[in-house]
Protein backbone atom coordinates (compact mmCIF):
# COMPACT_ATOMS: atom_id res chain seq x y z
CA UNK A 1 0.00 0.00 0.00
CA UNK A 2 1.29 3.48 -0.83
CA UNK A 3 1.03 5.63 2.28
CA UNK A 4 -0.97 8.84 1.93
CA UNK A 5 1.95 10.98 2.99
CA UNK A 6 4.40 8.94 0.91
CA UNK A 7 6.19 7.86 4.10
CA UNK A 8 6.41 4.38 5.55
CA UNK A 9 3.56 3.82 7.99
CA UNK A 10 3.39 0.06 8.27
CA UNK A 11 6.33 -2.34 8.49
CA UNK A 12 6.18 -6.13 8.47
CA UNK A 13 9.21 -8.24 9.36
CA UNK A 14 9.08 -11.91 8.41
CA UNK A 15 11.17 -13.77 10.98
CA UNK A 16 11.15 -13.25 14.74
CA UNK A 17 14.65 -14.52 15.43
CA UNK A 18 17.92 -13.02 16.65
CA UNK A 19 17.92 -10.34 13.94
CA UNK A 20 14.27 -9.63 13.25
CA UNK A 21 13.09 -9.38 16.84
CA UNK A 22 15.66 -6.92 18.25
CA UNK A 23 15.90 -4.87 15.03
CA UNK A 24 12.18 -4.30 14.80
CA UNK A 25 11.95 -3.57 18.53
CA UNK A 26 14.46 -0.74 18.15
CA UNK A 27 12.77 0.63 15.00
CA UNK A 28 9.42 0.63 16.84
CA UNK A 29 11.02 2.32 19.83
CA UNK A 30 12.59 5.08 17.73
CA UNK A 31 9.67 5.47 15.29
CA UNK A 32 6.46 5.43 17.36
CA UNK A 33 4.50 6.71 14.36
CA UNK A 34 5.20 3.49 12.43
CA UNK A 35 3.30 0.28 13.11
CA UNK A 36 5.82 -2.57 13.26
CA UNK A 37 4.61 -6.17 13.03
CA UNK A 38 6.99 -9.10 13.50
CA UNK A 39 5.59 -12.32 12.06
CA UNK A 40 6.71 -15.93 12.30
CA UNK A 41 5.13 -19.31 11.58
CA UNK A 42 6.69 -20.61 14.80
CA UNK A 43 3.78 -20.24 17.20
CA UNK A 44 5.88 -20.98 20.30
CA UNK A 45 8.35 -18.24 19.41
CA UNK A 46 5.57 -15.68 18.93
CA UNK A 47 4.00 -16.77 22.21
CA UNK A 48 7.34 -16.18 23.96
CA UNK A 49 7.66 -12.69 22.45
CA UNK A 50 4.18 -11.89 23.80
CA UNK A 51 4.72 -13.42 27.24
CA UNK A 52 3.67 -11.16 30.11
CA UNK A 53 6.88 -12.15 31.86
CA UNK A 54 9.49 -10.35 29.78
CA UNK A 55 12.20 -12.59 31.22
CA UNK A 56 10.73 -15.32 29.00
CA UNK A 57 11.56 -13.58 25.71
CA UNK A 58 13.00 -16.16 23.27
CA UNK A 59 16.20 -14.15 22.92
CA UNK A 60 18.47 -12.93 25.66
CA UNK A 61 20.21 -9.64 24.89
CA UNK A 62 21.18 -6.99 27.46
CA UNK A 63 18.72 -4.09 27.17
CA UNK A 64 16.21 -5.93 24.98
CA UNK A 65 13.56 -6.33 27.70
CA UNK A 66 13.41 -2.58 28.26
CA UNK A 67 13.06 -1.80 24.55
CA UNK A 68 10.30 -4.38 24.04
CA UNK A 69 8.49 -3.17 27.16
CA UNK A 70 8.34 0.40 25.84
CA UNK A 71 6.87 -0.50 22.45
CA UNK A 72 5.05 -3.83 22.63
CA UNK A 73 1.31 -3.50 22.02
CA UNK A 74 1.79 0.23 21.34
CA UNK A 75 3.27 0.09 17.85
CA UNK A 76 5.23 -3.19 18.10
CA UNK A 77 3.30 -6.41 17.58
CA UNK A 78 4.33 -10.07 17.40
CA UNK A 79 1.95 -12.32 15.51
CA UNK A 80 1.63 -15.46 13.40
CA UNK A 81 -0.88 -13.76 11.10
CA UNK A 82 1.66 -13.56 8.28
CA UNK A 83 -0.67 -12.84 5.39
CA UNK A 84 -2.54 -9.91 6.91
CA UNK A 85 0.66 -8.23 8.04
CA UNK A 86 2.25 -8.57 4.59
CA UNK A 87 -0.92 -7.33 2.89
CA UNK A 88 -1.04 -4.15 4.97
CA UNK A 89 2.67 -3.33 4.89
CA UNK A 90 4.41 -0.55 2.97
CA UNK A 91 7.74 -2.23 3.70
CA UNK A 92 8.50 -5.91 4.32
CA UNK A 93 11.79 -7.06 5.85
CA UNK A 94 12.94 -10.60 5.07
CA UNK A 95 14.71 -11.88 8.18
CA UNK A 96 14.37 -15.64 7.87
CA UNK A 97 16.88 -18.39 8.55
CA UNK A 98 19.43 -19.16 5.82
CA UNK A 99 21.37 -22.23 7.02
CA UNK A 100 24.10 -23.99 5.10
CA UNK A 101 22.79 -26.63 2.68
CA UNK A 102 23.17 -30.15 4.04
CA UNK A 103 22.86 -31.89 0.66
CA UNK A 104 22.83 -31.25 -3.07
CA UNK A 105 24.81 -28.77 -5.14
CA UNK A 106 26.91 -26.59 -2.85
CA UNK A 107 26.32 -28.83 0.18
CA UNK A 108 28.17 -27.72 3.34
CA UNK A 109 29.08 -24.38 1.75
CA UNK A 110 26.21 -22.62 -0.02
CA UNK A 111 23.27 -21.14 1.86
CA UNK A 112 19.91 -22.90 1.73
CA UNK A 113 17.63 -20.17 0.38
CA UNK A 114 14.44 -22.20 0.76
CA UNK A 115 12.84 -19.85 3.28
CA UNK A 116 13.91 -16.75 1.39
CA UNK A 117 12.18 -18.07 -1.73
CA UNK A 118 9.07 -19.11 0.23
CA UNK A 119 8.97 -15.66 1.80
CA UNK A 120 9.40 -13.86 -1.54
CA UNK A 121 6.63 -15.90 -3.13
CA UNK A 122 4.29 -15.17 -0.23
CA UNK A 123 5.05 -11.45 -0.40
CA UNK A 124 4.39 -11.50 -4.14
CA UNK A 125 1.08 -13.29 -3.71
CA UNK A 126 -0.30 -11.34 -0.75
CA UNK A 127 0.99 -7.76 -1.00
CA UNK A 128 -1.06 -4.89 -2.39
CA UNK A 129 -0.04 -1.81 -4.37
CA UNK A 130 3.64 -0.91 -4.10
CA UNK A 131 5.77 -2.74 -1.53
CA UNK A 132 9.41 -2.17 -0.60
CA UNK A 133 11.05 -5.53 0.13
CA UNK A 134 14.18 -5.38 2.27
CA UNK A 135 16.74 -8.17 2.60
CA UNK A 136 17.75 -8.33 6.27
CA UNK A 137 18.95 -11.92 6.44
CA UNK A 138 22.60 -12.53 5.68
CA UNK A 139 22.50 -13.70 2.08
CA UNK A 140 24.88 -14.69 -0.71
CA UNK A 141 25.68 -12.09 -3.34
CA UNK A 142 22.96 -11.65 -5.97
CA UNK A 143 20.20 -13.21 -3.86
CA UNK A 144 18.30 -9.98 -4.52
CA UNK A 145 18.16 -11.04 -8.16
CA UNK A 146 16.24 -14.17 -7.16
CA UNK A 147 13.81 -12.14 -5.06
CA UNK A 148 13.31 -9.63 -7.88
CA UNK A 149 12.59 -12.38 -10.43
CA UNK A 150 9.97 -13.96 -8.18
CA UNK A 151 8.31 -10.63 -7.46
CA UNK A 152 8.35 -9.59 -11.12
CA UNK A 153 6.62 -12.86 -12.02
CA UNK A 154 3.85 -12.12 -9.54
CA UNK A 155 3.54 -8.58 -10.93
CA UNK A 156 2.85 -10.00 -14.38
CA UNK A 157 0.27 -12.42 -12.98
CA UNK A 158 -1.44 -9.61 -11.09
CA UNK A 159 -1.74 -7.51 -14.26
CA UNK A 160 -3.55 -10.36 -15.98
CA UNK A 161 -6.10 -10.21 -13.18
CA UNK A 162 -6.43 -6.45 -13.45
CA UNK A 163 -4.48 -5.80 -10.25
CA UNK A 164 -1.67 -3.22 -9.96
CA UNK A 165 1.22 -4.55 -7.92
CA UNK A 166 4.84 -3.30 -7.90
CA UNK A 167 7.97 -3.87 -5.83
CA UNK A 168 11.32 -2.33 -4.97
CA UNK A 169 14.05 -4.59 -3.55
CA UNK A 170 16.67 -3.27 -1.12
CA UNK A 171 19.55 -4.84 0.76
CA UNK A 172 19.99 -3.71 4.37
CA UNK A 173 22.31 -6.21 6.08
CA UNK A 174 22.67 -6.29 9.84
CA UNK A 175 26.03 -5.78 11.54
CA UNK A 176 25.10 -6.92 15.02
CA UNK A 177 27.29 -8.63 17.58
CA UNK A 178 25.30 -10.93 19.82
CA UNK A 179 25.60 -9.82 23.41
CA UNK A 180 25.71 -6.16 22.35
CA UNK A 181 23.01 -6.25 19.65
CA UNK A 182 20.72 -3.65 21.24
CA UNK A 183 23.56 -1.18 21.70
CA UNK A 184 24.74 -1.92 18.15
CA UNK A 185 21.27 -1.03 16.88
CA UNK A 186 21.06 2.20 18.86
CA UNK A 187 24.66 3.20 18.04
CA UNK A 188 25.65 1.53 14.76
CA UNK A 189 29.08 1.95 13.17
CA UNK A 190 27.21 2.26 9.88
CA UNK A 191 23.88 1.49 8.25
CA UNK A 192 24.22 0.01 4.78
CA UNK A 193 21.43 0.32 2.22
CA UNK A 194 21.85 -1.19 -1.23
CA UNK A 195 19.42 -0.72 -4.08
CA UNK A 196 18.52 0.77 -7.44
CA UNK A 197 15.30 2.60 -6.58
CA UNK A 198 16.26 5.99 -5.13
CA UNK A 199 12.78 6.65 -3.75
CA UNK A 200 12.75 3.34 -1.89
CA UNK A 201 16.26 3.97 -0.58
CA UNK A 202 15.22 7.37 0.76
CA UNK A 203 12.18 5.88 2.49
CA UNK A 204 14.29 3.32 4.32
CA UNK A 205 16.94 5.92 5.04
CA UNK A 206 14.32 8.23 6.56
CA UNK A 207 13.55 5.57 9.17
CA UNK A 208 17.16 5.27 10.30
CA UNK A 209 17.61 9.05 10.30
CA UNK A 210 15.30 9.14 13.33
CA UNK A 211 18.34 8.21 15.42
CA UNK A 212 21.35 7.52 13.15
CA UNK A 213 23.49 10.43 11.88
CA UNK A 214 23.34 10.87 8.11
CA UNK A 215 27.12 10.42 7.79
CA UNK A 216 26.78 6.86 9.12
CA UNK A 217 24.26 5.80 6.46
CA UNK A 218 25.99 4.39 3.38
CA UNK A 219 24.04 3.82 0.16
CA UNK A 220 25.48 1.39 -2.41
CA UNK A 221 24.43 -0.97 -5.18
CA UNK A 222 22.56 -4.14 -4.22
CA UNK A 223 25.56 -6.34 -4.95
CA UNK A 224 28.05 -4.23 -2.99
CA UNK A 225 25.72 -4.29 0.00
CA UNK A 226 25.33 -8.06 -0.08
CA UNK A 227 29.06 -8.67 -0.51
CA UNK A 228 29.98 -6.16 2.20
CA UNK A 229 28.15 -8.21 4.80
CA UNK A 230 29.91 -11.44 3.85
CA UNK A 231 33.28 -9.70 3.71
CA UNK A 232 32.86 -7.97 7.07
CA UNK A 233 32.11 -11.24 8.83
CA UNK A 234 34.93 -13.01 7.01
CA UNK A 235 37.41 -10.34 8.15
CA UNK A 236 36.24 -10.58 11.78
CA UNK A 237 36.46 -14.37 11.76
CA UNK A 238 39.90 -14.10 10.17
CA UNK A 239 41.15 -12.04 13.12
CA UNK A 240 39.83 -14.60 15.60
CA UNK A 241 41.48 -17.51 13.79
CA UNK A 242 44.69 -15.50 13.47
CA UNK A 243 44.99 -14.76 17.19
CA UNK A 244 43.99 -18.33 18.04
CA UNK A 245 46.74 -19.70 15.83
CA UNK A 246 49.21 -17.46 17.65
CA UNK A 247 47.97 -18.79 21.03
CA UNK A 248 49.41 -22.19 20.07
CA UNK A 249 52.75 -20.58 19.21
CA UNK A 250 52.74 -18.85 22.61
CA UNK A 251 52.23 -22.14 24.42
CA UNK A 252 55.17 -23.65 22.55
CA UNK A 253 57.61 -20.76 22.97
CA UNK A 254 56.83 -19.26 26.37
CA UNK A 255 55.30 -16.09 25.02
CA UNK A 256 51.97 -15.00 26.51
CA UNK A 257 48.99 -14.50 24.21
CA UNK A 258 47.56 -11.61 26.24
CA UNK A 259 50.84 -9.72 26.07
CA UNK A 260 51.18 -10.38 22.34
CA UNK A 261 47.59 -9.33 21.66
CA UNK A 262 48.03 -6.14 23.68
CA UNK A 263 51.23 -5.22 21.85
CA UNK A 264 49.72 -5.94 18.44
CA UNK A 265 46.46 -4.18 19.25
CA UNK A 266 48.22 -0.93 20.19
CA UNK A 267 49.19 -0.56 16.54
CA UNK A 268 46.66 1.98 15.23
CA UNK A 269 46.67 0.25 11.86
CA UNK A 270 45.42 -2.96 13.48
CA UNK A 271 43.45 -2.00 16.60
CA UNK A 272 42.61 -4.16 19.60
CA UNK A 273 39.18 -5.53 18.73
CA UNK A 274 38.68 -9.26 18.10
CA UNK A 275 42.12 -10.10 19.45
CA UNK A 276 40.95 -12.12 22.45
CA UNK A 277 42.14 -15.69 22.01
CA UNK A 278 39.62 -18.39 22.84
CA UNK A 279 38.17 -21.75 21.82
CA UNK A 280 37.07 -20.46 18.42
CA UNK A 281 34.31 -18.40 16.87
CA UNK A 282 30.66 -19.42 16.86
CA UNK A 283 27.26 -17.92 16.18
CA UNK A 284 25.02 -18.09 13.16
CA UNK A 285 27.04 -15.98 10.73
CA UNK A 286 30.82 -16.35 10.72
CA UNK A 287 31.20 -19.93 9.52
CA UNK A 288 28.20 -19.71 7.20
CA UNK A 289 29.34 -16.45 5.60
CA UNK A 290 32.89 -17.64 5.07
CA UNK A 291 31.67 -20.84 3.44
CA UNK A 292 29.32 -18.78 1.26
CA UNK A 293 32.32 -16.70 0.23
CA UNK A 294 34.29 -19.88 -0.52
CA UNK A 295 31.43 -21.24 -2.63
CA UNK A 296 31.12 -17.94 -4.50
CA UNK A 297 34.86 -17.89 -5.23
CA UNK A 298 34.85 -21.43 -6.55
CA UNK A 299 31.81 -20.64 -8.71
CA UNK A 300 33.83 -17.86 -10.37
CA UNK A 301 36.94 -20.10 -10.65
CA UNK A 302 38.82 -18.15 -7.97
CA UNK A 303 40.21 -21.26 -6.30
CA UNK A 304 43.20 -19.57 -4.68
CA UNK A 305 40.92 -17.03 -3.03
CA UNK A 306 38.57 -19.82 -1.95
CA UNK A 307 41.45 -21.80 -0.42
CA UNK A 308 42.55 -18.73 1.54
CA UNK A 309 39.17 -18.13 3.17
CA UNK A 310 38.50 -21.82 3.74
CA UNK A 311 41.61 -21.98 5.92
CA UNK A 312 39.93 -19.63 8.43
CA UNK A 313 37.29 -22.27 9.13
CA UNK A 314 39.95 -25.00 9.25
CA UNK A 315 41.92 -23.14 11.93
CA UNK A 316 38.74 -22.64 13.94
CA UNK A 317 37.98 -26.36 13.95
CA UNK A 318 41.62 -27.15 14.72
CA UNK A 319 41.58 -24.86 17.76
CA UNK A 320 38.58 -26.67 19.22
CA UNK A 321 40.12 -30.05 18.51
CA UNK A 322 43.45 -29.20 20.14
CA UNK A 323 41.69 -28.04 23.33
CA UNK A 324 39.91 -31.38 23.50
CA UNK A 325 43.19 -33.22 22.90
CA UNK A 326 44.87 -31.18 25.66
CA UNK A 327 42.18 -32.29 28.14
CA UNK A 328 42.60 -35.93 27.16
CA UNK A 329 46.38 -35.66 27.54
CA UNK A 330 46.24 -34.04 31.01
CA UNK A 331 43.71 -36.56 32.33
CA UNK A 332 46.10 -39.48 31.67
CA UNK A 333 44.73 -40.06 28.17
CA UNK A 334 41.68 -41.75 29.66
CA UNK A 335 38.33 -40.03 30.09
CA UNK A 336 36.16 -43.10 30.56
CA UNK A 337 33.74 -42.39 33.41
CA UNK A 338 35.49 -39.17 34.38
CA UNK A 339 33.33 -36.17 35.20
CA UNK A 340 34.09 -32.88 33.50
CA UNK A 341 32.34 -29.65 34.44
CA UNK A 342 31.72 -27.48 31.40
CA UNK A 343 31.12 -23.86 32.36
CA UNK A 344 29.38 -22.09 29.50
CA UNK A 345 27.66 -23.52 26.43
CA UNK A 346 26.63 -20.33 24.60
CA UNK A 347 29.11 -19.32 21.93
CA UNK A 348 29.85 -16.08 23.82
CA UNK A 349 28.75 -14.27 26.96
CA UNK A 350 25.53 -12.21 27.16
CA UNK A 351 23.59 -14.35 24.71
CA UNK A 352 21.69 -17.61 24.87
CA UNK A 353 22.66 -18.52 21.29
CA UNK A 354 24.39 -21.89 20.92
CA UNK A 355 24.59 -22.00 17.13
CA UNK A 356 28.07 -23.16 16.03
CA UNK A 357 29.25 -22.76 19.64
CA UNK A 358 32.75 -24.19 20.24
CA UNK A 359 31.20 -26.05 23.16
CA UNK A 360 29.30 -28.31 20.77
CA UNK A 361 32.33 -29.87 19.09
CA UNK A 362 34.41 -29.99 22.27
CA UNK A 363 31.60 -31.51 24.35
CA UNK A 364 30.84 -34.07 21.62
CA UNK A 365 34.49 -35.13 21.48
CA UNK A 366 34.61 -35.49 25.27
CA UNK A 367 31.43 -37.57 25.26
CA UNK A 368 32.94 -39.77 22.55
CA UNK A 369 35.87 -40.40 24.91
CA UNK A 370 33.45 -41.72 27.51
CA UNK A 371 33.43 -38.77 29.89
CA UNK A 372 30.40 -37.61 31.88
CA UNK A 373 29.65 -33.91 31.36
CA UNK A 374 28.12 -31.66 34.00
CA UNK A 375 27.17 -28.50 32.11
CA UNK A 376 26.28 -25.08 33.46
CA UNK A 377 25.23 -21.97 31.56
CA UNK A 378 23.13 -19.14 33.04
CA UNK A 379 21.01 -18.65 29.90
CA UNK A 380 21.10 -21.83 27.80
CA UNK A 381 18.30 -24.40 28.16
CA UNK A 382 18.45 -28.19 28.25
CA UNK A 383 16.60 -28.36 24.93
CA UNK A 384 19.17 -26.15 23.24
CA UNK A 385 22.06 -28.33 24.38
CA UNK A 386 20.26 -31.55 23.45
CA UNK A 387 19.38 -30.26 19.97
CA UNK A 388 22.90 -28.91 19.39
CA UNK A 389 24.59 -32.17 20.36
CA UNK A 390 22.08 -34.29 18.44
CA UNK A 391 22.58 -32.26 15.27
CA UNK A 392 26.37 -32.45 15.59
CA UNK A 393 26.27 -36.23 16.10
CA UNK A 394 23.97 -36.74 13.12
CA UNK A 395 25.94 -34.41 10.83
CA UNK A 396 29.24 -36.11 11.69
CA UNK A 397 27.72 -39.63 11.77
CA UNK A 398 28.99 -40.34 15.28
CA UNK A 399 28.11 -43.31 17.45
CA UNK A 400 25.32 -42.12 19.77
CA UNK A 401 25.99 -44.58 22.58
CA UNK A 402 27.43 -41.84 24.80
CA UNK A 403 25.38 -38.86 23.63
CA UNK A 404 23.19 -38.73 26.74
CA UNK A 405 26.01 -38.82 29.29
CA UNK A 406 25.52 -35.22 30.35
CA UNK A 407 23.41 -33.16 32.70
CA UNK A 408 22.51 -29.48 32.83
CA UNK A 409 23.26 -28.17 36.32
CA UNK A 410 21.59 -25.13 37.89
CA UNK A 411 24.72 -23.87 39.67
CA UNK A 412 28.48 -23.84 39.30
CA UNK A 413 28.77 -25.73 42.57
CA UNK A 414 26.64 -28.64 41.37
CA UNK A 415 28.44 -28.69 38.03
CA UNK A 416 31.87 -29.16 39.64
CA UNK A 417 30.74 -31.66 42.26
CA UNK A 418 33.08 -34.69 42.19
CA UNK A 419 34.46 -33.53 38.83
CA UNK A 420 37.95 -34.40 37.63
CA UNK A 421 38.23 -31.17 35.63
CA UNK A 422 36.60 -27.81 35.03
CA UNK A 423 36.49 -26.49 31.46
CA UNK A 424 35.61 -22.82 30.99
CA UNK A 425 34.22 -22.25 27.49
CA UNK A 426 32.13 -19.05 27.80
CA UNK A 427 33.33 -15.80 29.40
CA UNK A 428 30.29 -15.22 31.62
CA UNK A 429 31.08 -12.81 34.47
CA UNK A 430 29.97 -15.33 37.10
CA UNK A 431 32.89 -17.53 36.11
CA UNK A 432 35.37 -14.74 36.82
CA UNK A 433 34.50 -14.71 40.53
CA UNK A 434 34.51 -18.40 41.34
CA UNK A 435 35.67 -19.34 44.86
CA UNK A 436 38.31 -21.82 43.80
CA UNK A 437 39.18 -22.82 47.37
CA UNK A 438 35.59 -23.94 47.87
CA UNK A 439 35.44 -25.55 44.43
CA UNK A 440 38.59 -27.60 44.97
CA UNK A 441 37.10 -29.28 48.05
CA UNK A 442 34.30 -30.80 45.98
CA UNK A 443 36.47 -32.07 43.12
CA UNK A 444 38.28 -35.37 42.72
CA UNK A 445 42.08 -35.19 42.88
CA UNK A 446 44.22 -34.61 40.93
CA UNK A 447 41.95 -31.81 39.72
CA UNK A 448 42.38 -29.69 36.62
CA UNK A 449 41.05 -26.33 35.45
CA UNK A 450 41.15 -25.62 31.71
CA UNK A 451 40.63 -21.91 31.06
CA UNK A 452 40.04 -21.26 27.36
CA UNK A 453 38.84 -17.68 27.97
CA UNK A 454 41.68 -16.40 30.21
CA UNK A 455 39.30 -15.16 32.89
CA UNK A 456 40.69 -16.99 35.92
CA UNK A 457 43.17 -15.62 38.46
CA UNK A 458 46.03 -18.14 38.12
CA UNK A 459 47.31 -17.59 41.67
CA UNK A 460 43.91 -18.25 43.23
CA UNK A 461 43.40 -21.40 41.19
CA UNK A 462 46.83 -22.82 42.01
CA UNK A 463 46.70 -21.76 45.65
CA UNK A 464 43.54 -23.85 45.90
CA UNK A 465 45.62 -26.89 44.96
CA UNK A 466 44.27 -27.16 41.43
CA UNK A 467 46.27 -27.81 38.28
CA UNK A 468 45.75 -25.09 35.68
CA UNK A 469 46.03 -24.88 31.90
CA UNK A 470 45.35 -21.53 30.29
CA UNK A 471 45.08 -20.94 26.57
CA UNK A 472 48.13 -19.24 25.07
CA UNK A 473 50.38 -19.60 28.10
CA UNK A 474 53.36 -21.90 28.54
CA UNK A 475 52.76 -24.25 31.43
CA UNK A 476 56.08 -23.38 33.08
CA UNK A 477 54.70 -19.86 33.78
CA UNK A 478 53.34 -20.86 37.16
CA UNK A 479 52.77 -17.49 38.77
CA UNK A 480 50.54 -16.21 36.00
CA UNK A 481 52.06 -12.75 36.03
CA UNK A 482 53.13 -11.22 32.75
CA UNK A 483 53.40 -7.53 33.47
CA UNK A 484 49.90 -6.73 32.28
CA UNK A 485 48.14 -3.73 33.77
Q: Which residues pair with 36 in a beta bridge?
A: 11, 76
Alpha helix ranges (H) inside 7-60 = 20-30, 43-49
CA distances from 89 to 26, 46, 250, 448 (A): 18, 19, 55, 57
Find the length of the chain: 485
Count Cα neighbours of 50 within 13 Å in the Cβ-side half-sphere. 16
Under the phi-then-psi rule, with left for phi > 0, alpha for psi from -120 to 50, and beta for the rest, what region is 110? beta
Show which residues are catalytic.
174, 229, 285
Handedness of CA 181, 186, 190, 194 (dihedral sign): positive
SS3 track for 439-484: HHHCCCCCCEEEECCCCCCHHHHHHCCCEEEECCCCCCCCCCCCCC
DSSP states of 67-109 as a string?
Answer: HHHHHBTTTEEEES-HHHHHHT-SEEEE----PBPSSSTTTTT
User: Could you tell me if 196 and 228 are in contact, meaning their C-beta atoms sit under 8 angstroms apart?
Assistant: no
CA distances from 28 to 62, 111, 113, 132 (A): 18, 30, 28, 18
DSSP states of 171-216 as a string?
Answer: E------TTSHHHHHHS-S-EEEE-S-HHHHHHHHHHHTTTS-GGG
User: Could you tell me if 130 and 2 are in contact, meaning their C-beta atoms sit under 8 angstroms apart?
Assistant: yes
Handedness of CA 331, 333, 337, 340 (dihedral sign): positive
User: Could you tell me if 75 and 36 are in contact, meaning their C-beta atoms sit under 8 angstroms apart?
Assistant: yes
How far is the C-alpha of 281 from the C-alpha of 374, rounded, in Å?
A: 23
Segment holding 41, helix H or strand E: none
User: Could you tell me if 316 and 281 are in contact, meaning their C-beta atoms sit under 8 angstroms apart?
Assistant: yes
Q: Which residues pair with 12 in a beta bridge?
A: 37, 92
Contacts of 35 (CB under 8 A, 6+ apart): 9, 10, 11, 75, 77
How far is the C-alpha of 52 from the C-alpha of 190, rounded, in Å?
A: 34
CA distances from 288 to 252, 358, 431 (A): 31, 15, 29
**Gyration radius of the chain's alpha carbons:** 24
Burial class (CB in 10 A: 0-12, 13-18, 19+), 366: buried
Amino acid sequence: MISKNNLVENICCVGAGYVGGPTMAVIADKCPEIKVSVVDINEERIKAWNDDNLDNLPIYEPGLVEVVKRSRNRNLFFTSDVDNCIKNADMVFISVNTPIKSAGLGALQASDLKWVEVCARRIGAISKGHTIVVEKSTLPVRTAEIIKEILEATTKSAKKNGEEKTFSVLSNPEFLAEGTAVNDLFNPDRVLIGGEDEVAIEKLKSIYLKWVPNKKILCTSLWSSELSKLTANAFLAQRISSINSVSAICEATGANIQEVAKAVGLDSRIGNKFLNAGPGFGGSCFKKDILNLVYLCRYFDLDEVADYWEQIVHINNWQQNRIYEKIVDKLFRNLSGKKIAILGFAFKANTNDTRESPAIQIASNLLEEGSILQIHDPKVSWDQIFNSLSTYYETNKLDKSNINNWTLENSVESAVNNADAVLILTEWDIYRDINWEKISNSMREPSWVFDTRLITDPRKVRDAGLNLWRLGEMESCKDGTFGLS
